[in-house]
A = this chain, B = another copy of it.
Amino acid sequence: MDMKKMLVNDRVKPYLLKARYGIEKEGQRVDLSGNLAKTDHPKSISIRDEHPYIQRDFSETQMELITPVTETLEELFNYLAAIHDVAYRSMGDNEMLWPLSMPPQLPEKEEDIVIAKFKSVENVLYRQSLSNSYGRRKQMISGVHFNFEFSDELIQSLFNLQSEIKDYQHFKTEIYLKVTRNYLRYRWLVTYFYGASPSSEKNFFEEGSLNEPVRSIRSSKYGYTNSDDVRVSYSSIRNYISDLSLMVKRGLLIEEKEFYSAIRLRGGHQVSDLEEHGVSYVELRNIDLNPFETYGISYEQAEFLHLFLIYLLWKDEDNHCDEWVEMGDFYNDAVALEHPLEPTQFAVEAHHMVDEMEQLVKTLDLTISDSLFVNLREMLRDPSKTLAGRLCKESEESSQAHVATCIAKENYKKSWEKPYQLTGFTDMELSTQILMFDAIQQGIRVEILDRQDQFLKLQLKDHIEYVKNGNMTSKDTYVSTLIMENKTVTKKILQQHGFRVPIGEEFHTIEQALRSYDLFSAKPFVVKPKTTNYGLGISIFKEGANYEDYQKAIILAFKEDSSVLIEEFLNGTEYRFFVLDDKVYAVLLRIPANVKGDGKHTIEELVTQKNRDSLRGRDHRTPLESIQLGELENLMLKGQGYRMDSIPKAGEIIYLRENSNISTGGDSIDVTDEIPDDYKKIAVDAVAALGAKISGIDLIIANKEAPAANKDAYGIIEANFNPSMYMHIYPYKGKSRRLTMHIIHYLFPELLQN
């Protein structure tokens, strides 16, 4: 079996960069001064023992963030970023994550390191026995585990090219065994480039620390390793399993999972499953936290690891595989303990391997970041460019702890800067981002079925729910949304159920509409296109209209739609009620774009000031939109006798728009607690009459202090089947209403049953 030849085959090449990835990233919680946190795992993370994304590792302070399995690195880093956001904001604003593999200063007494408070007795006992075997201090080291699986198409196409091994599963296992042996042999290269645990903080070593900084304490014999007696053969899967079980039998390991190899063969739940099911992926465990990356590992690093694994599959190995692996251990320990600012003793070999890898990229037509080989060579040329080198150098001026605290603070700031965003998914709709945040926090698995289409699959144990646009769910019937989509049908049904709606008619031709002039002309009325939603083509006549104006309005509306509604105009204030499962969760007042004068600044300056709010931005990626100063705004100012450079009096409110849409710079004001229950009941009953479960329903209320039962007290304008949620969650003024969380609890009521 000539793997080198097989890999360059055209039937193999398309699949070389297809793979599945996963990351587990540990890190200590610290306070804002960089001291180990004394608090428990955040309460807002409700599922504690079996959370799919946010776990504890050994200690209560050691957070483990776990991505789902992804099929691209982009997706992998998106999830990693998002889970970090959730972790940060779940901790609250007085904690952050320590960016180094080596823990911050530990308590003097080892017992003061608090073992993770799992509910499961088994989990706690296991950690206690680890504590007995290795001491609690060593268990406080953190790192990144990189899970990697070659695509099935790749292994299948390789399998098809040979006839030596008849069984596909066996073939696959052999592939991973070769990669594993070679990884163990050559992992020192990873330690050189990305080792990043040069020094320890106070109280880490019981008896003093290392005298000099090294590349990686964690990957060295001082790190997280089994005793020297633990030796396992990778010559075959059978040998591997039997050696491991022997170690457990002999009491050298408590459990098989205590075997701390730099790379672990994975497949099935237990090691013994590997025999029956074969190896399905590998877990690289020797990656130190990259202090200079917010999420502990860079995209380029991950690309390197993928490429490295292809290279190791391609690269010949020695037939004496146990010695081969042992030689790797020797190399790695040597490199790990080198001074980070000194060149490695294996520089020639390292250069040769980088050259080989680059050649392989060319031969196999692989698409890799342009910068990768430049950076690798730079790190070989100048050790201070390696991660350990950089950390070591930066720490010279102050201390490693100081540098780490500063980095942690930067990361902390970043995660709180735009609390409405979910990093990694900021191209998605804001409500979807917030819903994903809440789902991740609640321990619900989030899979994106279609990113452009905002289509999510949410899963909690066996319970699956599909959600589009944040609130289009299985709870609403199809026809109820079609009813809400059609203003005429909505009105008819509401009217038949006894609700007040503006009286009006639908027209399909200009002539037909003109003929009905007499029906509307004498009272306040509004002309609007049937289906547009952006305020276009709407004319309001608060005191009736003459025939000419009526005609103009109709022509205008027909430009927007082939159906036009003419309706009585209702006087009062419009409120948006967010109804979910027969309950009003939020009521919002929307006010047209405006500024408040201070007697000093021009309108233009006041707008600039108001737009500085980090909640304001463009294109619905922030909870509020920046106020524009375009044609419409200038017209509106002119109508009031102002210009952009006018200076309004102190306290005076200047409106820049007629319409109150948030999308044109309007203000959102939460008034949920101010709206009397009788109006809320009308909103709930009206939504029920439409057969809907999730709806944003717009009521015009003449005077909210007056009873809803009064004649003409209210009128229902329309109901929306995909109502904006973010404007209630991040209002301009008033209380935030976390509607996304209510949606989550509505879809997964079992979350509230614990």
User: Which of these, B13, B449, B482, B522, contacts A455 with CB under 8 Å?
Assistant: B482
User: Which of these, B10, B478, B492, contacts A481 with CB under 8 Å?
Assistant: B478
CB-defined contacts of A721 to chain B, threshold 8 Å: 478
Nearest chain B CB to A161's CB is how many angstroms away? 14
A504 on the interface (CB 8 Å rule)?
no
Please judge, given known A-B contacts A11-B522, A450-B488, A518-B14, whether A466 and B481 are in contact too, CB under 8 Å.
Answer: no
A476 on the interface (CB 8 Å rule)?
yes
| B14 A519 Cβ-Cβ under 8 A | yes
Other than the given A11-B522, A450-B506, A473-B478, 13 more pairs (CB < 8 A) read A452-B563, A453-B486, A453-B489, A466-B483, A466-B691, A472-B482, A473-B477, A473-B479, A474-B478, A474-B479, A475-B477, A476-B479, A477-B478
| B481 A449 Cβ-Cβ under 8 A | no
CB-defined contacts of A467 to chain B, threshold 8 Å: 479
Select from chain B the residue with minimum beta-carbon distance to A481: B478
A220 on the interface (CB 8 Å rule)?
no
State the majority secondary structure of interface residues on A. mixed
A402 on the interface (CB 8 Å rule)?
no
User: Which of these, B367, B473, B506, B518, contacts A13 with CB under 8 Å?
Assistant: B518
CB-defined contacts of A480 to chain B, threshold 8 Å: 466, 474, 478
CB-defined contacts of A466 to chain B, threshold 8 Å: 479-480, 482-483, 489, 493, 691
Nearest chain B CB to A266's CB is how many angstroms away? 21
| A455 B489 Cβ-Cβ under 8 A | yes
| A residues apposed to B, CB below 8 Å | 10-11, 13-15, 367, 449-450, 452-453, 455, 457, 465-468, 472-483, 486, 488-489, 492-493, 506, 508, 515-516, 518-519, 522, 563, 691, 721
| A452 B508 Cβ-Cβ under 8 A | yes
| B476 A477 Cβ-Cβ under 8 A | yes
CB-defined contacts of A518 to chain B, threshold 8 Å: 10, 13-14
CB-defined contacts of A508 to chain B, threshold 8 Å: 452
CB-defined contacts of A516 to chain B, threshold 8 Å: 14
| A to B CB contacts below 8 Å, 22 in the list | A15-B519, A449-B493, A450-B486, A450-B506, A452-B563, A453-B489, A455-B482, A457-B493, A465-B479, A466-B479, A466-B482, A466-B489, A467-B479, A468-B479, A472-B479, A473-B478, A473-B479, A474-B480, A478-B478, A478-B480, A478-B481, A478-B721
Return the 9 tightest CB-CB contacts between A and B, nearest first: A14-B518, A474-B477, A476-B478, A449-B489, A466-B479, A14-B519, A474-B479, A468-B482, A478-B481
Nearest chain B CB to A512's CB is how many angstroms away? 11
| B488 A449 Cβ-Cβ under 8 A | yes
In the bound complex, what is the Cα–Cα distance between A563 and B457 (angstroms)?
Answer: 20
CB-defined contacts of A10 to chain B, threshold 8 Å: 518
CB-defined contacts of A482 to chain B, threshold 8 Å: 455, 466, 468, 472
Select from chain B the residue with minimum beta-carbon distance to A515: B367
| A449 B492 Cβ-Cβ under 8 A | yes
Select from chain B the residue with minimum beta-carbon distance to A454: B482
CB-defined contacts of A488 to chain B, threshold 8 Å: 449-450
Nearest chain B CB to A580's CB is how many angstroms away? 14
In the bound complex, what is the Cα–Cα distance between A372 and B465 (angstroms)?
Answer: 62
In the bound complex, what is the Cα–Cα distance between A661 and B601 (angstroms)?
Answer: 66
In the bound complex, what is the Cα–Cα distance between A506 and B452 (angstroms)?
Answer: 11
Q: Most B CB atoms within 10 A — which of A450, A474, A479, A480? A: A479
CB-defined contacts of A11 to chain B, threshold 8 Å: 522
In the bound complex, what is the Cα–Cα distance between A691 and B464 (angstroms)?
Answer: 11
In the bound complex, what is the Cα–Cα distance between A481 and B480 (angstroms)?
Answer: 12
In the bound complex, what is the Cα–Cα distance between A505 and B417 (angstroms)?
Answer: 36
CB-defined contacts of A479 to chain B, threshold 8 Å: 465-468, 472-474, 476
Select from chain B the residue with minimum beta-carbon distance to A473: B479
CB-defined contacts of A477 to chain B, threshold 8 Å: 473-478
CB-defined contacts of A455 to chain B, threshold 8 Å: 482-483, 486, 489
In the bound complex, what is the Cα–Cα distance between A455 and B487 (angstroms)?
Answer: 12
Select from chain B the residue with minimum beta-carbon distance to A487: B450
Select from chain B the residue with minimum beta-carbon distance to A367: B515
Please judge, given known A-B contacts A11-B522, A563-B452, whether A478 and B472 are in contact too, CB under 8 Å.
Answer: yes
In the bound complex, what is the Cα–Cα distance between A506 and B482 (angstroms)?
Answer: 28
CB-defined contacts of A15 to chain B, threshold 8 Å: 519
Nearest chain B CB to A500's CB is how many angstroms away? 15
In the bound complex, what is the Cα–Cα distance between A473 and B486 (angstroms)?
Answer: 15
Nearest chain B CB to A720's CB is how many angstroms away? 13
Nearest chain B CB to A461's CB is how many angstroms away? 16
Nearest chain B CB to A114's CB is how many angstroms away? 40
In the bound complex, what is the Cα–Cα distance between A666 and B125 (angstroms)?
Answer: 71
In the bound complex, what is the Cα–Cα distance between A506 and B367 (angstroms)?
Answer: 19
In the bound complex, what is the Cα–Cα distance between A474 and B480 (angstroms)?
Answer: 7
Select from chain B the residue with minimum beta-carbon distance to A453: B486
In the bound complex, what is the Cα–Cα distance between A563 and B451 (angstroms)?
Answer: 12
Nearest chain B CB to A57's CB is how many angstroms away? 30
In the bound complex, what is the Cα–Cα distance between A105 and B392 (angstroms)?
Answer: 115
In the bound complex, what is the Cα–Cα distance between A691 and B15 (angstroms)?
Answer: 33
Nearest chain B CB to A563's CB is how many angstroms away? 7
In the bound complex, what is the Cα–Cα distance between A483 and B465 (angstroms)?
Answer: 12
CB-defined contacts of A450 to chain B, threshold 8 Å: 486, 488-489, 506
Nearest chain B CB to A498's CB is how many angstroms away? 14
CB-defined contacts of A457 to chain B, threshold 8 Å: 493
CB-defined contacts of A489 to chain B, threshold 8 Å: 449-450, 453, 455, 466
Q: Most B CB atoms within 10 A — which of A476, A478, A480? A: A478
